[in-house]
């Protein structure tokens, strides 16, 4: 792992709290990195797209390294370069397809479970000793899909339910240790890639998700929540923060204009 041109990657020199953000090359991950950097955190960024990651690191004065949370080898290499971590933000994730259960592709389900659940497991296991030493925070970007099912979302809702339960279990197991475990569960968030990836690059289908919705959430809204959660006094653990746009009362109840 290499520092960017500002030379600010070593927290022992800067004295700032260190935040590691996965999935930092776009969307909620990138917005979170910018927000935490603005709050004085030293950022260590991980994602698969090294070019976008390097540009963001240069922009915010952070450190970047390639990271694929579905690969134990990649996780090990990334975490070997992390000298200290006070906050671990699990933002890597995603959905694939909207097929009903009867027609679902098991490979898509396996991929969603791998990135949304096992990716969190791999990164948490690797960095938990450092987080414990620093009295740190584990913050998972979950989803309202981790709280309720909906048609066509079986694989994604199963994965997000899984990571929510992972967080609940970890919190129980760490009770008495100086590590907070928190989940932010966004509802409808319009980012540049989430729905586009879900529908295999079909822009029309991706656009239809937000059609007629006056103001869906944006990535910066979730970054704002993350910043608030990790900057509470350390005895305050925000177990679960659910955030939706005012136009969305539930997964199946969204106000849309004609």
Tens-place pLDDT, residues 20-38 = 999 999 999 999 999 999 9
CA distances from 109 to 27, 74, 103 (A): 22, 21, 12
Number of helical (H) and strand (E) elements in the chain, helices listed first = 10, 10
Average pLDDT over residues 45-51: 94
pLDDT of 210 > 80? The answer is yes
Residue 203's pLDDT is: 84
Of the pLDDT bands very low, low, confident and very high (cuts 50, 70, 90), residue 1 is low
Q: Single out the catalytic residue among 113, 150, 156, 210.
A: 156
Task: Determine the average pLDDT of the residues in 83-88.
Answer: 96
Q: What is the pLDDT of residues 216-239, one digit of tens each?
A: 999 999 999 999 999 999 999 999
The CA–CA distances, whole Å, from 39 to 5, 34, 208, 231, 238 equal 20, 9, 35, 9, 19
User: Does residue 187 surpass a pLDDT of 80?
Assistant: yes
Per-residue pLDDT averaged across 80-92, rounded? 96
Question: pLDDT, tens digit, for every residue of 54-68?
Answer: 999 999 999 999 999
- The residues with which 92 forms a beta bridge, in sequence order, are none
Confidence of residue 115 (pLDDT cuts 50, 70, 90): very high
* Residue 8's pLDDT band (cuts 50, 70, 90): very low
Query: Fold for domain 15-254?
Result: Rossmann fold (3.40.50)
CA 167/CA 83 separation, integer angstroms: 24
Backbone φ, ψ for residue 132 (5° rounding): -65, -45
Strands 137-141 and 180-186 come out as parallel
Q: What gap in Å lies between CA 79 and CA 53, rounded to an integer?
A: 16
User: Is 156 assigned a catalytic role?
Assistant: yes
Q: pLDDT band at residue 6, thresholds of 50, 70 and 90?
A: very low
Question: What is the mean pLDDT of the segment spanning 151-180?
Answer: 97
pLDDT at 12: 42
Residues above pLDDT 70, as percent of the chain:
95
- Enumerate residues 6+ apart whose C-beta is below 8 A from 187: 143, 144, 217, 242, 243, 244, 245, 248, 251
Looking at the predicted structure, is the pLDDT value of residue 10 above 50? no
> How far apart (Å, rounded) are the C-alpha atoms in residues 184 and 221?
11
pTM equals 0.92
What phi, psi does 256 have (nearest 5°)? Answer: -130, 140
The chain-wide mean pLDDT, for the chain, equals 92
| Residue 47, strand partner residues | 66
Query: Over 50: is that where the pLDDT of 71 sits?
Result: yes
């Amino acid at each position: 792992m290499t520092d960017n041109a500002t030379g600010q990657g070593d927290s022992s020199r800067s004295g700032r709290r260190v935040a590691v953000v996965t999935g930092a090359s776009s969307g909620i991950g990138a917005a979170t990195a910018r927000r935490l950097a603005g709050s004085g955190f030293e950022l260590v960024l991980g994602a698969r797209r090294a070019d976008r990651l390097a540009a963001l690191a240069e922009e915010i004065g952070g450190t970047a390294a390639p990271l694929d949370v579905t690969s134990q080898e990649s996780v090990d290499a990334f975490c070997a370069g992390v000298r200290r971590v006070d906050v671990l933000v699990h933002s890597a994730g995603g959905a694939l397809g909207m097929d009903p259960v009867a027609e679902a592709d098991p490979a898509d389900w396996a991929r969603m479970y791998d990135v949304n659940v096992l990716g969190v497991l791999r990164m948490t296991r690797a960095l938990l000793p450092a987080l414990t030493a620093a009295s740190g925070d584990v913050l998972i970007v979950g989803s309202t899909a981790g709280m309720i099912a909906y048609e066509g979302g079986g694989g994604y809702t199963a994965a997000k339910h899984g990571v929510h339960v992972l967080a609940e279990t970890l919190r129980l197991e760490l009770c008495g240790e100086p590590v907070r475990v928190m989940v932010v569960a966004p509802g409808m968030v319009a980012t540049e890639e989430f729905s586009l990836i879900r529908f295999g690059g079909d822009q029309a289908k991706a656009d239809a998700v937000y059609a007629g919705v006056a103001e869906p959430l944006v990535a910066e809204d979730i970054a704002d929540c993350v910043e608030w959660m990790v900057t509470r006094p350390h005895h305050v653990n925000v177990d679960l923060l659910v955030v939706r746009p005012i136009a969305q009362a539930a997964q199946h109840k969204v106000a849309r204009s004609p």
